[in-house]
Amino acid sequence: MAASEVAPRRTAAGPAQADLDKCVHCGLCLNACPTYRELGVEMDSPRGRIYQMNQVAAGAPMTPGYVEHLDLCLACRACETACPSGVPYGRMIEAARAEIRKRQKITLGGRILRYLIFERLLPSRIALQIAGAGLYAYQASGLQKVLRASGVLKLLGRVADIEALSPSAEVPFFYSKIGKIFAPVGQRRYRVAFLSGCIANVAFARLNEATVRVLQRNGCEVVIPAAQNCCGALHVHSGLEEQARALARRNIDAVLGGNFDAILTNAAGCGSTLKEYDHLLADEAGYAERAREFRRRMRDVNEFLASIGLNPELGRLDAVATYQDSCHLAHGQQIRSAPRQLLQAIPGLKLREMRLADGCCGSAGIYNLVHNDMAMQILEKKMADVNATGASLIVTSNPGCMLQLAAGARLYGSGQRVLHVVEVLDESYRAAQAA
């Protein structure tokens, strides 16, 4: 298995001047940028944002405008793919945001909110289970349906936008599987560790179960490490690198020494960060080498399955599907052919490419909550491309994209189903069994 290249990360605040200097201002990235395509404003393009980072690096003040233009970036890294000069935009925007977080004065309310989300909720199984139970009660009791139908939520402004994108709580939560080992079907070919995420244990429990089943069908002994934790991707994207480093250390401790052939994730956004632990911890004497070892074994589940020779006992699924590249898989990890290869192996499934399949859907971590208007504009255009394929199934490789696309199918589509690649494979294996 060849590890996909991921650009090295800079850990100190502020983009490195050497990275900034790589931009020759050619503008070839502009049309790849979703915010530039929407607004047509240079300062909301990759080139414009790099120009502003350069100004700040040269001593210009961090104006509210600077913060706004950088905040509006989806960090989708489409510009990185388009750039012929190898500008490592992903690590530059993360470093710039870390610098903003360091220097920006935040209100007490903002500090408390950030502390609760990033330090108390995401890394805590108990807190996530309590939040998940609350969400489940809200949805299962019918209160969500009543409130949505009554239009009361619309009176609450942003709350309605956020509520519309909230995931479903899936009981039983996947937390019940953490610490367990699942035996392979047939002869054991690999021993793998599966990192099941944080929110995904509550909101994507069925996806995680499907992932385990597909791996079992492919001869994997699947271990769900007991001491695993949130990967820290949302922390990194929000400029909270210290907290991300603490989570990285915990995950490395949780899996190294387990004699695994591979460490797997089914979330492209998490995978991108997990594959950068070696850079995140490059300066830590006790962890640098262990982080490199972790990185050597880290794989996205698509990448892993496509590399081991997929079990061909797949059943027929008669449907037309279109594949939406998740930004952090296509641009962040350069994995494009593996998910398509897996889908094309399914008998009966027709894969129809959409226009701009690797253009962001507007999800981008918590971007669709924070910049809901822009995220929805981008989503509407994405759905026009999806609708033009006539597909009844939208397939992707990241839970966040699944939520956004499900909202898109509801609001601007024809109610298409939205599934992860491993869920489609799982349905196909089950169809074969049933037959």
Measure the CA–CA gap between 58 and 428, rounded to whole angstroms. Answer: 56
394: which 2 tokens?
């939208």
Q: Is 29 in the site for ligand SF4 (CB under 6 A)?
A: yes
**Smallest distance, ligand SF4 to C-beta of residue 216, A:** 37
What's the per-residue H, E or C state across 218-244? CCEEEECCCCCCCCCHHHHHCCCHHHH
Q: Is 76 in the site for ligand SF4 (CB under 6 A)?
A: yes
Q: Kindly state the number of chain residues that form the binding site for ligand SF4, as judged by CB under 6 A.
A: 27
Among 78, 231, 281, 321, binds ligand SF4 (CB under 6 A): 78
Q: Is 83 in the site for ligand SF4 (CB under 6 A)?
A: yes
Q: Is 46 in the site for ligand SF4 (CB under 6 A)?
A: yes
Among 7, 53, 56, 75, binds ligand SF4 (CB under 6 A): 75
**Smallest distance, ligand SF4 to C-beta of residue 365, A:** 12
**Smallest distance, ligand SF4 to C-beta of residue 205, A:** 30
State the residue for tokens 């800079």.
Answer: 10
Among 6, 23, 223, 338, binds ligand SF4 (CB under 6 A): 23
Among 6, 20, 79, 305, binds ligand SF4 (CB under 6 A): 79
Q: Is 24 in the site for ligand SF4 (CB under 6 A)?
A: yes
If the CB atoms of residues 69 and 299 are measured against ligand SF4, the closer one turns out to be 69
- Measured at the CA of 277, the angle between CA 299 and CA 335, to 5 degrees, comes to 35
**Smallest distance, ligand SF4 to C-beta of residue 77, A:** 5
Residue 182 CB neighbour total at 10 angstroms? 18
228: which 2 tokens?
């695993």
Element counts in the chain: helices (H) and strands (E): 24, 9
Strands 298-300 and 349-351: unpaired
Measure the CA–CA gap between 32 and 44, rounded to whole angstroms. Answer: 12
Measure the CA–CA gap between 363 and 432, rounded to whole angstroms. Answer: 34
**Smallest distance, ligand SF4 to C-beta of residue 372, A:** 16
Non-local CB neighbours of 330 within 8 Å, separated by 6+ positions? 81, 336, 358
Among 85, 104, 141, 176, binds ligand SF4 (CB under 6 A): 85
Question: Interface with ligand SF4 by CB under 6 A: which residues?
Answer: 23-29, 32-35, 46-47, 49-50, 73-79, 82-83, 85, 87, 89
